[in-house]
Amino acid sequence: MAAVVGGYVAGQPKVSELMVWGARAQIITGLILVGMASAIDSIGKEPDNAKVAVKLVIAILVAAFAEMGRADAKRGNDIAWMTHAAGGLAIVNVLVAVLWT
């Protein structure tokens, strides 16, 4: 998350490579953590599947906008709304994690 949001703040109006790799890592590590939380019985509770699904959809959108924005930036087309969409959705994902109880 820090790579995506930090890359968003530092790299405007372009999508940086840091944002792309951060978005990829966010999906992979999130799936690993949810899988581990589901598999470990000693925790005593299951993850909220609705929250996990919402966060996964948002993370996939962040990765998609970051990938498309980076590809356009490499071709010389700086599309600012893709940068804002990826960064804004990453912030929304943080808010979902923190505020959803």
Tens of pLDDT, residues 58-93: 999 999 999 998 898 888 887 888 889 998 999 999
Given this model, what pLDDT does residue 37 score? 87
CA 49-64-4 angle, 5° bins: 80
pLDDT band at 9 (very low <50, low <70, confident <90, very high): confident
Given this model, what pLDDT does residue 64 score? 95
Given this model, what pLDDT does residue 59 score? 95
Q: Which two tokens stand for residue 19?
A: 């944002």
Name the residue among 7, 52, 17, 19 with its Cα closest to residue 34: 52
